[in-house]
């Protein structure tokens, strides 16, 4: 398979023994656009969950029980199919000599990596340039779909009220900032929705909110033209390509990040000059308490 050979060439160039390819994109969404589906590109596997470990001589595809048969049909010629939780990567790879596996830090969180690969003979090395993107020259084009806004009568609560709740939690936790990296939580707090997922109205965006209630929304600016006037003037709209610059300018602050949706890349970036509070995003709890309008709509 030519794609695997090309990937192995880049694995060798980067002085690695293997490379990790997840299903998810940088927003950790369950369903990804075709242009972000690197796992399907390299393995032909089209299920909604799984990841591949490509080594110099062997390829492994890890899936859960829903996809074992499908994975064997789609990828069995080039990959050994491993069903989780019968076996984990640390079970399969523990007998090998010390191996250095590269990964894209924007596509993984620390908790996930530790759970699957925390054994002595595996060294995980972040590679900031995605090795598949280097030679995936004919990526499908993704249509930019605008975000839309939910009125208070439909959401049951205004985004101003929600921001105030988060602000109080930050003050209680003695956190200067909350970095919201799960798109579904950005959707909840601002009462916005989008078309970035084929099966759910997810708006691919990240949000930075401080304990004074100042907000920075990071996304593709074309997506927010229709909702700008409906949101607070205090919200700063920043192109997602400039997020690193903004985060690098934050210093000596207590920054709350989410365990499951904040990537290794952003955690490392923020921890250089700040103190990190690593815990569940409080929005998961807040949005689990349904207001009367939400209950009625359900």
* d(C-alpha 6, C-alpha 134), whole Å: 10
| pTM of structure | 0.92
Q: Give the DSSP H or E segment for 55.
A: strand 51-55
Contact 270/249 with Cβ under 8 angstroms?
A: no
Q: How would you write the pLDDT of the chain (298 residues) with one tens digit per residue?
A: 799 999 999 999 999 999 999 999 999 987 898 899 999 999 999 999 999 999 998 999 999 999 999 999 999 999 999 999 999 998 898 877 889 999 999 999 999 999 999 888 999 999 999 999 999 998 988 889 999 999 999 999 999 999 999 999 999 999 999 999 999 999 999 999 999 988 889 999 999 999 998 999 999 999 998 887 777 677 899 999 999 999 999 999 999 999 899 999 999 999 999 999 999 999 999 999 999 999 999 9
Neighbours of 30 (CB within 10 A): 12
* d(C-alpha 180, C-alpha 224), whole Å: 18
Residue 232 is predicted with a pLDDT of 66
Any idea what DSSP says for residue 195? S
Residue 1 is predicted with a pLDDT of 76
Residue 222 is predicted with a pLDDT of 93
* d(C-alpha 277, C-alpha 267), whole Å: 10
For residues 224, 230, 231 and 237, what is the CA-based torsion angle, rounded to 10 degrees? 30
Contact 296/64 with Cβ under 8 angstroms?
A: no
Residue 143 is predicted with a pLDDT of 87
């Amino acid at each position: 398979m030519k794609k695997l050979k090309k990937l192995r060439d880049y694995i060798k160039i980067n002085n690695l023994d293997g490379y990790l390819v997840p299903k998810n994109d940088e927003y950790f969404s369950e369903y990804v656009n075709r242009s972000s589906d690197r796992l399907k590109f390299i393995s032909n596997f089209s299920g909604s969950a799984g990841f591949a470990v490509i080594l110099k001589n062997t390829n492994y595809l890890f899936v859960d029980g829903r996809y074992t048969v499908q994975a064997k049909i789609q990828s069995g010629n080039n990959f050994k199919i491993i069903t989780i939780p019968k076996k984990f990567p640390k079970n399969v790879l523990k007998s090998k000599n010390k191996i250095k596996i590269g990964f894209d830090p924007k596509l993984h969180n620390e908790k996930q990596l530790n759970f699957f690969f925390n054994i002595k003979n595996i060294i995980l090395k972040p590679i900031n340039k995605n090795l598949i993107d280097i030679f995936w020259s004919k990526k499908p084009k993704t249509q930019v779909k605008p975000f839309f806004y939910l009125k208070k009568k439909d959401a049951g609560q205004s985004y101003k009220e929600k921001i105030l709740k988060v602000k109080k939690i930050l003050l209680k936790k003695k956190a200067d900032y909350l970095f919201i990296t799960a798109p579904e939580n950005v959707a909840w707090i601002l009462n916005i929705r989008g078309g970035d997922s084929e099966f759910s109205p997810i708006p691919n965006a990240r949000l930075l909110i401080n304990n004074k209630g100042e907000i920075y929304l990071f996304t593709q600016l074309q997506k927010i033209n229709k909702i700008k006037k409906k949101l607070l003037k205090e919200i700063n709209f920043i192109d997602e390509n400039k997020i690193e610059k903004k985060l690098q300018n934050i210093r000596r602050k207590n920054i709350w990040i989410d365990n499951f949706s904040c990537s290794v890349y952003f955690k490392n970036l923020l921890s250089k000059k700040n103190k990190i509070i690593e815990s569940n995003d409080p929005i998961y709890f807040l949005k689990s308490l349904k207001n009367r309008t939400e209950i009625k709509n359900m």
